Structure 1
């Protein structure tokens, strides 16, 4: 029986960096989510979707690209986009490039909601995240996080992986059903 070697344990600095990142992320996300709910009745993911669409030249993106950008499952994205569409904040339409694809476009109402939530969102980011840092720290943090993000993005997100095909059903005798 062969046993795979265990990876070496994290050293105290690595473990400390990881736990600090997790705690900072949790604390910041909690406050951001509350601000988004209060100012625009948006979830964190809905804000990410609107902000992503609002940041594109024409306010439109394919559903698959949106799922990859916000790192969300296809089914979860479909549900969230449905809620945004019901609220009149986005519109869905067939993709011009692919009959099977769907594009999502931010509406004027969606842009209005973004304009309403952004000032408070920026205040939260400044007060909780940026205020204790010197400009050099912010530059260093941005550089380091960009390296980590790019490394993580080099591995295709779940939404980009090919869907698993159903196995052909076979009868007990081995033939196809």
Structure 2
């Protein structure tokens, strides 16, 4: 007696393919906008944006790697390119001699300011605008956005419980 192989029904398969198509098409448009407006890759933008969101403008490389699904060596390479472009600086971490702290420069903030309006426009046009207009919509697409966030939030959290090594949160050793 052989076991039936796992399968997806038509609705599950459709949802999966729709999600993958949306993610691929949106990412392609975002990457093109970032390249055109600021000569940045998607990963470079993620690094700059995370630094820009930090009150100090700094993060340890391990913290950046934990939030970005990218190999640690690749992330180091991208940070090196950003440093050569004058958009970030790197220095030994004051908390841990083995760690490296990355800090956003004024030029990095300027680059973020240059690409961000177009980035927001792409996200609004391609992702958020189609969610607007439902019968219970408040006019700003909030109901569709709320529903999308409620659907994807738990999925993201579930996947992050066993992420690839590049996205795994590191446990700090007890001191």
TM-score range, shorter chain: 0.7 to 0.9
Structure-to-structure mapping, 1:75-114, within 5 angstroms: 75-114=73-112
| Contact persistence 2:38–2:115 (CA under 8 A) | yes
**Structure 1, gaps ≥5 residues long:** 163-177
Contact 1:68–1:157 (Cα < 8 Å) also in 2: no
Q: Deviations over 1:39-84 (max 9, x none)?
A: 1000011001100111111011111111110111110001000000
Scaled by the length of structure 2, the TM-score of the pair is 0.86
Task: Give the distance between the partners of 2:19 and 2:125, measured in 1 at CA.
Answer: 17
Asked if the contact 1:62/1:102 (under 8 Å) is kept, the reply is: yes
Equivalent residue for 2:10? Answer: 12
Mark the runs of 5 or more structure 2 residues left unpaired by the alignment: 133-141, 171-175
Residue matched to 2:156: 149
Which residues in structure 2 correspond to 1:1-177 (within 5 Å)?
A: 5=3, 7-134=5-132, 135-159=142-166, 160=168
TM-score (norm 1): 0.85
Structure 2 distance, partners of 1:124, 1:45, is 17
Q: Determine if contact 1:90/1:110 at 8 Å carries over to the other structure.
A: yes
Distance 1:53 1:12 in 2: 42
Q: What is the distance in 2 between the residues matched to 1:87 and 1:7?
A: 51
Moved more, 43-52 or 8-17: 8-17
Q: Confirm or deny: 8 A CA contact 2:131 2:144 kept in the other structure.
A: yes
Aligned mates of 2:34, 2:4 — CA distance in 1: 43
Partner of 1:175: none
Q: 1:68 to 1:7 in 2, by over 3 A?
A: farther
Q: For the pair shown, which has the larger CA radius of gyration, 1 or 2?
A: 1
